[in-house]
Chains A and B, each alone.
Chain A
């Protein structure tokens, strides 16, 4: 360790003002602070500080996402072999999944981080850790068969337009990962919806002709509420909970998502308020639709909405993004509830969009500051009233 530290100290002057590589100061800083928490001591104010920092926050979220990624890798392989009609051993299933998913992760990180580093360099800031999570989220909300160049374009769009133009991490209005997905959804709709993209190899026609790669959500939208896999085998509730169904890479396994939720809640990194209120919103809408059911999709039981599509994934990992969510405690409850409510509403009643979670979260991202405004205004009004009565 000391040896490493000495090496870092030796090359550090080259990256500081006046050094050969002074232009790369923030890039160097990013790597240095990743290796070592800096030796900065408090100068003013509180002499002691909480051990929590941005890196720790982000790394906890990444840990919470790992189960979803691992299951996503397995499921990608599993769906593929199902579609080509072969049975394969566990490791070859995983191998196929790795070949599909790892390149998406790499592309997302390389493109996103490169842009982040360039912007940090131009601004002369330290590199912010925010993209470590966004870069992990983007692959998890992509279909397995998405072309890599699309991932690259979407990531670049999300980081530049979704984040950096507003001033970087902490300043963005829309969730960057969802911005990437929304970009692809509207720019290349054929690749983000339909029956083919969810199963690896299907776009290239490697799969059996009779095989359908429709997700349970798409099946429900088509009025077929007894879900089945592409080869005709039925999907039961257990399958949807375990996650052996077609869908975006990280969204299918409810168990993996709930493990992530537990990590976020125990560490107090994720907001319980948002998760619970979004759940309540979704359930409320589900019950309302059941009550006034006019077609098979409206009839599916309210709890099944939590298992199909990306509702749960969005609830645990997307809606809880503190930057784009409401910031006040009351605001978080309103914000979460409306996301859940709208997500199911859009999902069931809008035929143009097969999944409502993404759009509901993005919509409420835009309204979050407004919600906060009214919550804070309540506090201000109380103060004004107090002033008047005295």
Chain B
């Protein structure tokens, strides 16, 4: 599904290398987790893959289903099936959550040459998906993320993901700022989307999210590289011993 080879990335404004040769392959239908200490480049990886400005790829490649995505515009990557659940979802005052969702869904459908959803069809689907995430009618009407609690914002990200039905979902620290109940709700939402044709890259600091979203593969990232790869037990190791031991071991 996603194949990253030798990815090197610098900050555009300052001469600072953040990613120093990331290699990562996420197979179709699998859930990979990336863990790592602060500043290891986890969030940068998610931004570079989704096409945010401010980063320069100096070497390497990233392919989604065999197509190089690094030269594509962010919206083209989105239409190709890449989705990023933001660590800090952005507020858009005055724009209703529904309007936003529907504009996004139809923009992607249009980009793929598909028929746009009618208001009625759209509404039916939204209602269904919102219900399972405990998102009520009021939250759908309110402006995008404005005045949302941390939990509401993250649930809203998952609702967007459910509506857009991406192939490759990147979750950037989706557990940050969530209490246990909210985390469970979000994890349930993600698990409901697990499918043979859909892959996940879950970026997190902590093991606790991985208790709910069980990964197939766990990677440890440090200083711009994947330094260790293993099964779910690797996350437990981090939980018990912290990163220090692992980093010392690979150094």
A, B co-complexed = no
